Structure 1
């Protein structure tokens, strides 16, 4: 099969698509990655096909993340949400046309829940559609305020295409009616009993980046002492990154441990650091976390998955969205030390949490046990098999048929 994979958002939203694309390519399918231009270098470095769809994601998601961090209820305000979503709303017509073009001659479209153009292309052009989520998305699962905000973002253009309005366009209504895949582990999250049979919790996805090599100074730092604490806030954009870096420096000194700070989207750790600390830009989480004594992080779904898969204990500092959910799961599973609220974070509290987490062997033992279970799930393979079982016998229209179907222009009212 020839398959287009798309989404919009942060690294955590993109990672599962790339992992699935690798699995599809290795199994003889043709995968094309349709993403915002921010991700072209990453995709091409992995040897995958790339086509640009939509606006730059980092600038838009940065503003949305900062707004939600300042005020978790910001999307309940129609005026504030309209302004925040304006750049994304204005980009939808172009993204829709770009994605239609990317799908020409292809058999299947796979999308995450944050790409509003995907479901529209599926509905107007008839290309079979699989949804892929890296967090818990289900019908009716978002707040009324968020639904109103995203309705105003998506429904005006749906109306122009002659499509019916939807109630929850970037969550429940983004899901496929035939195959909804969740890159989540059943050892971390219990499958909701209310889900229909075609919603599948397949396991976490693993992206192969074996060709990546650390620079000499990072390798030397890792070899020069015991496993460090790794701090990773990923795509979280924090307004007080310099202040947080100072807290991390003092916590590392108070806990008398070595620390690696991933800079992430907030640029943490870019100032001069003491000898027991090292700042790194990009490094695959699987590679870096497996060399850590514990990981201090924000609790994003992708970072949480990487920590669980690495078999090391964690300290969660959850901020927004689904981050408290994964922190709660980690506490229940016994793989995380004391959770810290961002508003209560101090160097003393973090140092105490590091000492508790690294000195008590039960956290590490539980983390290793969870790692073994998670790695036995083979999430990307299960996802690929479900796609093949569901679509291989019924999505093989000729390229000519598919091209003419996709090139047919829907009526704009």
Structure 2
């Protein structure tokens, strides 16, 4: 069986697809992965060739384009999906699409064009309509403050998605002879979307028929560097601070404030540079800086994890049984911050900007949640990629 996995976004969008790709390969499937060019090294490390899509996701994130440019960028990425995937998907039996909504819409359209079975996947449920919660706000299109009826908010969300992505999608579809789509969100969601999240961390809260596979975890067996192991062995477990693919508003101030907040709790600190390019502020021996690192191995050895609330980082931290402080920046991150707080396994910081005092207060509270974090960790499933691969291969054999 030949499977095309297509995504466009940050590492949190790509790494789960790599996990599924390896599981499919182990079961004898032929896999192609379409992703931003940033992740060529990541895929190559697992022996997976990449079919690059469009331009650097990191460059796009760091450039902070205006919300008014979203339709134009959506048109570019959808056009790139059609151009690349119409070649990459030929001969495949199924296309698995996720990532940014316009990218997923483009990939699903290519599958439709080629007559290939398609599966729409999300790594968070905020794009799946539900009367029990509000939709995620889209850039430049805030939800009306006075509207509290969720069904009305989801109606407005559909209108916003159409305004941002409708013409971008339909211009490419028309060019390739496909009919126009009236409801972009409904097209991407489909009749039975897959939700690749853990049911304990992210229980489905809607009426629609979905398939919740569990989170797609990419096993990481890389050893920690010797100098990091030496740092860990020299004292009490440190606090980890990292904001993944978020550039942050001021990387210098973010690093300074975070280090001061951790030191205020009498703790040591491991700082991850990430896309924010955080750096140490002095040469004291209570701090250590890392680049790309095996977080699955590191997180269980820390006292607390301060992060941005990306789906992947939240899952890894939860599996580790380590308390969290989530400082959400955008998109689905406030949702994950709320889930961490609701489960009692950490603290949701109030807003994306933190001070030494606010972060220190949140960290102090989170450090008291070790027992709760370990109890939830014991309930987290690790078979998500196996479940997804079994479904893909089983349905493909019919």
TM-score (normalizing by structure 2): 0.86
Give the superposition deviation at 1:391: 2.1
Q: Is the 8 A contact 2:305 2:324 kept in 1?
A: yes
**Larger relative contact order (CA 8 Å, sep ≥ 6):** 1
Is 1:303 the counterpart of 2:313? The answer is yes
* Residue of structure 1 equivalent to 2:233: 223
1:273–1:204 Cα change, 3 Å? farther
Q: Is the 8 A contact 2:241 2:271 kept in 1?
A: yes
* Residue of structure 2 equivalent to 1:342: 352
1:172–1:293 Cα change, 3 Å? farther
* Residue of structure 1 equivalent to 2:109: 120
What is the DSSP-based 3-state SS (H/G/I as helix, E as strand, rest coil) of the residue aligned with 1:279? strand
* Residue of structure 2 equivalent to 1:131: 120
Distance 1:301 1:167 in 2: 30
- Structure 1 regions of 5+ residues with no counterpart? 68-79, 394-413
1:226–1:56 Cα change, 3 Å? same
* Residue of structure 2 equivalent to 1:249: 259
- Structure 2 regions of 5+ residues with no counterpart? 137-156
* Residue of structure 2 equivalent to 1:56: 56
* Residue of structure 2 equivalent to 1:148: 163
Q: Is the 8 A contact 1:82 1:149 kept in 2?
A: no
Give the superposition deviation at 1:35: 1.3
1:21-59 superposed Cα distances (whole Å, 9 cap, x missing partner): 111111221211111211111001012232222222222
Distance 2:244 2:16 in 1: 15
Alignment RMSD (CA, Å): 2.1
* Residue of structure 2 equivalent to 1:234: 244
1:5–1:86 Cα change, 3 Å? same
Distance 1:155 1:382 in 2: 34
1:89–1:193 Cα change, 3 Å? closer
Distance 2:61 2:341 in 1: 28
Match of 2:362 among 353, 366, 369: 353
Match of 1:391 among 377, 392, 396: 396
Give the superposition deviation at 1:147: 3.5
Give the superposition deviation at 1:189: 2.5
Distance 1:167 1:266 in 2: 38
Distance 1:153 1:276 in 2: 50
1:241–1:168 Cα change, 3 Å? farther
Match of 2:208 among 195, 217, 223: 195
Matches within 5 A, 1:368-383: 368-375=374-381, 378-383=383-388
1:256–1:368 Cα change, 3 Å? same
TM-score (normalizing by structure 1): 0.83
1:161–1:338 Cα change, 3 Å? closer
* Residue of structure 1 equivalent to 2:152: none
Distance 1:180 1:390 in 2: 15
What is the DSSP-based 3-state SS (H/G/I as helix, E as strand, rest coil) of the residue aligned with 1:173? helix
Q: Is the 8 A contact 1:231 1:260 kept in 2?
A: yes
Give the superposition deviation at 1:295: 0.5
1:102-134 superposed Cα distances (whole Å, 9 cap, x missing partner): 112221111104224211211111111112211
Give the superposition deviation at 1:91: 4.3
What is the DSSP-based 3-state SS (H/G/I as helix, E as strand, rest coil) of the residue aligned with 1:290? helix
Matches within 5 A, 1:59-70: 59-63=59-63, 66=64
Q: Is the 8 A contact 1:299 1:316 kept in 2?
A: yes
* Residue of structure 2 equivalent to 1:323: 333
Distance 1:120 1:273 in 2: 53
Q: How many matched pairs?
A: 369
